[in-house]
Amino acid sequence: MYAAWLPISGNRSAVGGNGRAYSLSTTMKIYLDIDGVILKKDLTIPDYGKEFISFLVTNHDCYWLSTHCKGGNNNALNHLSKSYPQSTLEQFKMIKHTNWIDLKTEAIDLSSDFIWLEDYPFEAEKIVLKQANKMDSLITIDLNRENELKSVQKKVEMVTIK
pTM (two decimals): 0.83
pLDDT for position 27: 83
Q: What is the mean pLDDT of the chain?
A: 86
Q: How confident is the model over 112-138, as a mean pLDDT?
A: 98
Its sign, for the CA torsion 3, 9, 11, 16, is positive
Spatial contact of 132 and 116, defined as CB atoms under 8 Å apart: no
CA atoms of 40 and 22, how far apart (whole Å): 33
pLDDT for position 159: 85
Report whether pLDDT(8) > 60. Answer: no
CATH assignment of 28-153? 3.40.50
List beta partners, residue 138: 116
Confidence band of 161 (pLDDT split at 50, 70, 90): low
Q: Give me the residue spans of the domains in the chain.
A: 28-153
Spatial contact of 61 and 49, defined as CB atoms under 8 Å apart: no
CA atoms of 131 and 146, how far apart (whole Å): 32
Q: How confident is the model over 121-143, as a mean pLDDT?
A: 98
pLDDT for position 160: 79
Q: How confident is the model over 93-116, as a mean pLDDT?
A: 96
pLDDT in tens, 53-87: 999 999 999 999 999 988 878 899 999 999 999 99
